[in-house]
Amino acid sequence: MRKPEFMIADPVLSRRLESVLRPTPDGLWCPEGAFFIDPPRPVERAVITHGHADHARAGHGSVLATPETLAIMGERYGRDFAVHAQPLAYGERITVGKVELSLAPAGHVLGSAQATIRRGGLTVTASGDYKRRRDPTCIPFEPVPSDVFITEATFGLPVFRHPPDVHEIARLLRSVQQFPERAHLVGAYALGKAQRVIRLLREAGYDETIYVHGALERLNRLYEHFGVDLGPLAPATGSKADFAGRIIIAPPSALADRWSRRFPDPVTAFASGWMSVRARARQRGVELPLVLSDHADWDELTDTLTELSPQEVWITHGRDDALRRWAELNGLKARALHLVGYEDEDDD
Ligand SMILES: [Zn+2]
Ligand SMILES: [Zn+2]
């Protein structure tokens, strides 16, 4: 881990923060609550913001998270993913050690939460991964007024401006119409993106059966269990001819796999925020790049900082330079934490 860059002019605030939340090589550590937030290694007590593998790891002593996130972890790691699992619903406040802890929706994936720590009039919010635009598979981001707001910066460059998702889904449906003899194979991360693509297709009026790779089945069922209606789904098994004009959703790694050879002349699509970068689409052999991100783009990041206008902004990971500079130009104190171990889930 590189040394954090301190841009702090308020020594009183920094001293108070020392006991409330501080970045360490093992992640964000709350000394007075004796827990880590999204620790990259197994720890005694962890608060987990959401189920993506780089945030939710197996092997902690106790885990506190939303019921949805705990269910996702149980699905991915087995029921004994931690010694003790404690559900905390959005908006509920509990005392952990000497601090008060609550979770607020982050709008990233099902169950995703921002963790807010309150102690002696000081409020610190670690947002985890988040986005601000509507997502039919999860509850929208809820701004929590905070003295310190901790943000990611996966797409923290002004070039990243994600288009409206209805626009991208319409491009997919147009292509299906245009090539009725070909299959459309859409790469989408198994947790969150896949269900969002399916749900957006339904909202666009597509009510045909959508075929899914086996790796998505359990998470799809879990989303449905939590009330996200995905419509008619079926396993992607059958003869080649069955898939002409059909949409198949698969994890990104399956696109280049021999698995994909079972489909007739597939149009390869990939749903990711990175698809705005032409070189990335080319590199992956993607014919139909769909710019669909579960992370805030530049406008969402800067709008969020403007809206919350915290005393301090901490940037966990991603393109922190530009965002830090933007914050400072706009009168916000900002600090890059360079936390390691987090990557974008699409960026495998
Ligand atoms: Zn994530
Ligand atoms: Zn992440």
Band of pLDDT at residue 347, cut at 50, 70 and 90: low
User: Does residue 5 surpass a pLDDT of 70?
Assistant: no
- Angstrom distance (rounded) from CA 172 to CA 241: 20
Q: What is the pLDDT of residue 3?
A: 46
Q: How far is the CA of 244 from the centre of ligand 1 (A)?
A: 33
CB 190 within 8 A of CB 216: yes
Q: Give the residue among 311, 341, 334, 302 at the shortest CA–CA distance from 156.
A: 302
Q: How far is the CA of 283 from the centre of ligand 1 (A)?
A: 23
Q: What is the pLDDT of residue 89?
A: 98
Whole-number average pLDDT of the chain: 94
Q: What is the pLDDT of residue 7?
A: 53
| Strand pairing report for 122-126 and 148-153 | parallel
Q: What is the pLDDT of residue 82?
A: 95
Q: How far is the CA of 337 from the centre of ligand 1 (A)?
A: 18
174: Cβ contacts below 8 Å, ≥ 6 apart? none
- Angstrom distance (rounded) from CA 293 to CA 140: 14
Q: How far is the CA of 130 from the centre of ligand 2 (A)?
A: 9
User: Does residue 286 surpass a pLDDT of 70?
Assistant: yes
Residue, of 303 and 1, whose pLDDT is higher: 303
Ligand of minimum distance to the alpha carbon of 38: 2
Q: How far is the CA of 75 from the centre of ligand 2 (A)?
A: 19
Q: How far is the CA of 1 from the centre of ligand 2 (A)?
A: 17
Q: Give the residue among 42, 48, 81, 52 at the shortest CA–CA distance from 64.
A: 48
| Strand pairing report for 45-47 and 60-65 | parallel
Q: How far is the CA of 52 from the centre of ligand 2 (A)?
A: 7
Q: What is the pLDDT of residue 25?
A: 87
Q: How far is the CA of 111 from the centre of ligand 2 (A)?
A: 14
Q: How far is the CA of 131 from the centre of ligand 1 (A)?
A: 10
Q: Give the residue among 322, 346, 343, 348 at the shortest CA–CA distance from 334.
A: 322
Residue 271 β-bridge partners: 290
Gyration radius (Cα) of the chain, Å: 21
149-164: pLDDT as tens digits: 999 999 999 999 999 9
Classify residue 186 by its DSSP letter: E
Q: What is the pLDDT of residue 342?
A: 86
Q: Is 97 exposed, middle or buried (0-12, 13-18, 19+ CB in 10 A)?
A: middle
222-269: pLDDT as tens digits: 999 999 999 999 999 999 999 999 999 999 999 988 999 999 999 999
Q: What is the pLDDT of residue 9?
A: 58
Interval 300-320 mean pLDDT: 96
Query: Following DSSP, what letter does each residue of 44-82 receive, concatenated?
Result: SEEE----STTTS-S-EEEEEE-HHHHHHHHHHH-TTSE
Q: How far is the CA of 108 from the centre of ligand 1 (A)?
A: 7
Q: How far is the CA of 43 from the centre of ligand 1 (A)?
A: 20
Q: What is the pLDDT of residue 345?
A: 72
Take residue 194 and report the two structure tokens written for it. 């896949």
107-130: pLDDT as tens digits: 999 999 999 999 999 999 999 999
Ligand of minimum distance to the alpha carbon of 152: 2
Q: What is the pLDDT of residue 1?
A: 46
Q: How far is the CA of 195 from the centre of ligand 1 (A)?
A: 14
Q: Give the residue among 220, 230, 283 at the shortest CA–CA distance from 255.
A: 283
8-17: pLDDT as tens digits: 457 888 889 9
Band of pLDDT at residue 344, cut at 50, 70 and 90: confident
Instruction: Express the helix, strand and coil content of the chain in percent, nearest 5 each.
Output: 30, 25, 45
- Angstrom distance (rounded) from CA 264 to CA 286: 16
